[in-house]
Each structure stands twice: as C-alpha cells, then as structure tokens.
C-alpha cells in the first residue's frame, strides 16, 4: 500500500479484524518511513453484471448509484446507513449469484422496491413515485393506498 501521507510503498500491518459480519477485513497499517497509521479494507470482489438501461445503453453496475437512490428515498426517515448498506449488499449478492452477464435496470429497481416496501412505507412511496414515473395524482394515490394496505397486513 502507498502511504497516504508520504507516498512510501512499504508498510506493516499493525492489526487485522473482520468487519461487516465477515464480509471484509479491516487492517490498520503503519508506514515504514513516516510512521503514519491508516486503515484499509479488503473485501471479495464480486463479478457483477452489466446493467442494461431502459434506452438500451449498457453500463457497469454502480453501487454508489444504488446507495444514492436509497438515500434520497429515506431522507429524513429513521433508517440507518448500515441498513441501507445491507440492502445494497443483498442486491449485489443476488446479482452476483445469478451468474448473468447482463441484467435489466428494471430488475434492480424492482429489487429495491421490494426491499423498501419491507423497510419503510414512506421511503417506498418516494422511490416508487420516481421509479414508476407517475403521470397523475390518481396513480400516486393508488400506490399510497397500496402502501397503507401493505403496512396494515
């Protein structure tokens, strides 16, 4: 690892611990030149499929896009960052496990909708209103009614 302070390439590992329920390893490192300590994370690199957008474009799967959409949906809701990260990790694992080389963006959106439905009705409705591009208030009210019925059951 290159030291973030001085750029030296030699370091030593001071401490290693599992984090995120065994999904990654956290390592504390110390630069051999300037003794600066820093943290690195090691995790399995999943082979994720290429995403086919609704207009036919193809782009690599982007975890940050998923997290960004979730963050906007849960804004000012009592949902932790750890919960959002767990949602994204579940979706990533499912995509990697499918073995598919390409996946429609709609499938990822549907997976997010289901996760949000179980997590928070308001966040689900916010995400659904953008995802499904409601054309009028009637569609919005119908989805809101669906959300209320789901929470009551």
Rounded CA gap, 65 and 2, in Å?
28
Question: 14 or 142: which carries more pLDDT confidence?
Answer: 14
pLDDT digits over 43-58, tens only?
Answer: 877 789 999 999 999 9
Count CA atoms closer than 13 A to 143's CA, side-chain side. Answer: 21
pLDDT value for 135: 77
* pTM for this entry: 0.65
């Amino acid at each position: 690892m290159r030291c973030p302070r001085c750029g030296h390439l030699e370091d030593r590992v001071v401490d290693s611990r599992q984090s995120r329920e065994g999904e990654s390893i956290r390592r504390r490192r110390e630069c051999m030149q300037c003794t600066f300590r820093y943290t690195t994370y090691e995790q399995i690199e999943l082979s994720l499929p290429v995403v086919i957008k609704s207009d036919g474009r193809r782009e690599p799967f982007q975890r940050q896009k998923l997290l960004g959409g979730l963050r906007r949906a849960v804004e000012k809701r009592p949902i932790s960052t750890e919960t959002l990260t767990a949602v994204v990790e579940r979706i990533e694992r499912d995509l990697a496990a499918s073995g598919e080389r390409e996946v429609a963006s709609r499938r990822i959106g549907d997976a997010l909708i289901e996760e949000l439905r179980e997590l928070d009705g308001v966040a689900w409705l916010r995400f659904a209103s953008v995802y499904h591009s409601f054309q009028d208030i009637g569609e919005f009210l119908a989805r809101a009614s669906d959300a209320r019925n789901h929470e009551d059951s």
